[in-house]
Structure 1
Amino acid sequence: MGRRRLLQLAGLATASTAVAGLAGCGTSTSTSEPADNTPLTIGYVPIACSAPIAIADALGLFEKHGVNVALKKFSGWADLWTAYATEQLDVAHMLSPMTVAIDAGVTNAARPTELSFTQNTNGQAITLASKHYGSVKSPEDFKGMVLGIPFEYSVHALLLRDYLAAHGVNPVSDLELRLLRPADMVAQLAVEGIDGFIGPEPFNERAIKSGSGKIWVQTKQLWDKHPCCSVAMAKEWKAEHSTAAQGVVRALEEAAAILSTPAQFDASAKTLAQEKYLNQPPELLDGPFSGVYQDWHGQTHTDLDRMSFGDPTDPAAIVWMATQIARWGLGGDTLTMDDSTIIAAAESVLVPGLEVTSDHLSINGVDFDPLAPTRGYDHMDSVIFR
């Protein structure tokens, strides 16, 4: 029985109880401590990965767990990154590698940060323009293309680089990776400004529905159960607001259980479709939630783990991300290709009690050992392109 199916069964009662009891929950809290009524602004980017934040807000789950939350929408990651780095936000939706980069201070933006909750695993795809159907047979055919990525410190950018390198394509000199806000990716595809993109839902679905693109591969097929988005907290804020921090996480856990429950898919999609959340037609979320998708050749598949919510944070995955930041020269002088440096950077963002273990990962067909993260990347000319 798959992990998502277990979550669905386990979460069904929780979800039903949560939805049914919202009318009477008022401002009750889940702890005996007084609620912290100081307004907390949580920044987010309107993509399907942010669903736990949006559902928690829509169903009053933050209030239920004693936190006064206001959401602030950002159109792209650069703006959110700046707002968080300049302390306009203390809690934010982040791409998981962003937490490592900003905590380690690999750029001028540095702030001690904890990855407090993994919002989703899987749920991304590489989508190519429909005009390439029939001519693109393998990743080697990506040479010369312009591909959109949402942010440098994203699992998208890191996984795509690794995928290309694994197939002998230099992601620096053989093609162009162009930073684009998720909302701009399909528009750029339609006007032939790019040849494809690696990005979140519902934009892969939108490309298919508009006829401008086709899914080349689900990122799940490159790395199953890979984390994508998280909720990050500034460490100094969490230390001063431990009750509120706990309430935020509990609300997100409850929202993730609802999102993992098939009986709630339609209601969740309609809630997320609202202008104040994703502002997208609910039918574009049907596939990501139900697991149904069309492959490059137009064949329909159902994969219940196409997109999952609320999986435990995987320390090994964070080590891999830190390794790739160093590998592609994105870590400056701070995060370099040194095992102890990389492991320390990953451990620094983990919640207390989580530790890096010897559990290996399989990513793009390669075995990754989190305790020896630079192993296998020592052939600089053939493996590391800068």
Structure 2
Amino acid sequence: MHSTRNDALAWVAGSDAPEKSALNLGFMALTDSASLIVAATQGFAQPYGLTLNLHRQASWASLRDRLLSGELDAAQSLYGQIYGIHLGLGGPATDMAILMGLCQNGQAINLSEPLRRAGVTSAEALAARVRQSGAKLTFAQTFPTGTHAMWLNYWLAAQGIHPLEDVNTVVVPPSQMVAHLQAGRIDGFCAGGPWGALAVDQGQGFTLATSQSIWAAHPEKVLGVTREFVERYPNTARALTMAVLEASRFIDQNLENRRSTAQLISGRDYVDAPLSTIEPRFLGQYEDGLGHAWLDAHPLSFFSEGQVSMPWLSDGIWFMTQFRRWGLLKEDPDYLGIARQIHQLDLYRQAAEALDIAVPSHPMRRSTLLDGSVWEGSDPAGYARSFAIHARSDTVAPIAL
């Protein structure tokens, strides 16, 4: 099953041996935590001299706090969360590091059953509902500087809805989204799987948009550590990256591996959700709760020949452009310089090349998002200013959590 096992032994002995062999790894009850769960439980870490102890976290805020305190050595992290911590948004600035990308795609924007009954089943109908006088709709995302906050903001703005002025937003841990929807505390949410599918399965709402419809092959979760961890334990960081890279490649290798992974992560200790809410979207099979079913061209992906795991500088820079757009950053940061500090490109290259995984020669990539904007990383300040809908200069963005 693992073609690189003999090669791996070279990394365990001598000067390349991990400085720290037992690691506490944080993760959330989410479908896209799969590569960490597989790496820790299916024998991918031992050849590198590592034991990975999994610790499920209740919220992204508690995961952040435990990562910063050293209780967790590394964690599944939201792309924008790592940048927010590094930039000191909502708390003291701490130098952070991204070892690799964990996944792309696979998040969803869901609306409530009462909105479905009221005929608000399209982006146009939602925009019309928002324009009506009356109580503002309330949407939940998972962390103020996280990916879901940025997808929700971006998608709403693309429909002509100002996310800071036309609706209310609240922070809710992903596994609590469906309960909040059911209780009527929120009208919709943006979160990772399986919670969008669970809302559909339980008749509590429907999926109005997938994150991949906003940006196909978008960046999502990363393997996050503090900069101090990388500096103290460089061999450990590289060995961890290699173990998770192997696990990611294994999951994406074929449909059978995907099915067995879905079965594994559905367990009580991990995502703790019915397999029926995990497996279909894990395999790219979508039902939106409005009678539509499709095989998604850009489903949740963990490897894609190294395109997913590559810590693209342009991906990190994009999140900073959105922080600037929405008033989380009051001035333009050193976009490229900060991305180069956070992304451990040399370490990733060493890990990938040792596993015969191709590493792109250029750390930027080009994408077109749903509103037609093209992002390729070259002019972040101009890109951040290019949007018609953005934070007013007097807007105070709530970021503390």
TM interval, shorter chain, is 0.7 to 0.9
Deviations 1:332-369 (A, max 9, x none): xxxx442x622322222111348986643322321234
Question: d(CA) in 1 for partners of 2:218 and 2:50?
Answer: 29
Partner of 1:228: 220
Question: d(CA) in 1 for partners of 2:185 and 2:225?
Answer: 36
Partner of 1:70: 53
Which of 263, 277, 280 is residue 270 of structure 1 equivalent to?
263
CA displacement at 1:200 relative to structure 2: 0.3
Q: Is the 8 A contact 1:28 1:63 kept in 2?
A: no
Question: d(CA) in 1 for partners of 2:84 and 2:344?
Answer: 16
Secondary structure class of the residue paired with 1:309: coil
Say if 2:154 is the partner of 1:176. Answer: no
Which of 193, 199, 215 is residue 207 of structure 1 equivalent to?
199
Q: Is the 8 A contact 2:312 2:363 kept in 1?
A: no
Which of 240, 245, 252 is residue 232 of structure 2 equivalent to?
240
Relative distance call for 1:380 and 1:317 in structure 2 (3 A) is: closer
Relative distance call for 1:64 and 1:204 in structure 2 (3 A) is: same
Alignment of 1:81-160 (within 5 A): 81-133=64-116, 134-137=119-122, 138=124, 139-141=126-128, 143=130, 144-160=136-152
Which of 275, 280, 298 is residue 282 of structure 1 equivalent to?
275
Question: d(CA) in 1 for partners of 2:336 and 2:109?
Answer: 29
CA displacement at 1:303 relative to structure 2: 1.8
Partner of 1:59: 42
RMSD: 2.5
Say if 2:63 is the partner of 1:80. Answer: yes
Q: Is the 8 A contact 1:36 1:66 kept in 2?
A: no
Say if 2:292 is the partner of 1:294. Answer: no
Question: d(CA) in 1 for partners of 2:377 and 2:156?
Answer: 21
Secondary structure class of the residue paired with 2:298: coil
Partner of 1:314: 312
Relative distance call for 1:75 and 1:382 in structure 2 (3 A) is: closer
CA displacement at 1:281 relative to structure 2: 1.7
Question: d(CA) in 2 for partners of 1:304 and 1:217?
Answer: 14
Question: Which deviates more, 350-359 or 176-185?
Answer: 350-359
Q: Is the 8 A contact 2:105 2:216 kept in 1?
A: yes
Relative distance call for 1:62 and 1:367 in structure 2 (3 A) is: same
Relative distance call for 1:91 and 1:174 in structure 2 (3 A) is: same
Q: Is the 8 A contact 1:116 1:233 kept in 2?
A: yes
Secondary structure class of the residue paired with 1:117: strand
Partner of 1:3: none
TM-score by length of 2: 0.83
Q: Is the 8 A contact 1:140 1:168 kept in 2?
A: yes
Q: Is the 8 A contact 2:25 2:53 kept in 1?
A: yes
Question: How many equivalent residue pairs?
Answer: 361
List alignment gaps of at least 5 residues for structure 1: 1-16
Relative distance call for 1:70 and 1:290 in structure 2 (3 A) is: same
Secondary structure class of the residue paired with 1:345: helix
TM-score by length of 1: 0.86
Question: d(CA) in 2 for partners of 1:298 and 1:269?
Answer: 24
Partner of 1:219: 211
Amino acid in structure 2 at the alignment position of 1:106: L
Secondary structure class of the residue paired with 2:379: coil
CA displacement at 1:194 relative to structure 2: 0.9
Q: Percent identity?
A: 21
List alignment gaps of at least 5 residues for structure 2: 131-135, 350-360, 396-401
Question: d(CA) in 1 for partners of 2:236 and 2:365?
Answer: 32
Which of 362, 366, 373 is residue 360 of structure 1 equivalent to?
366
Question: d(CA) in 1 for partners of 2:108 and 2:83?
Answer: 23
Q: Is the 8 A contact 2:327 2:391 kept in 1?
A: no
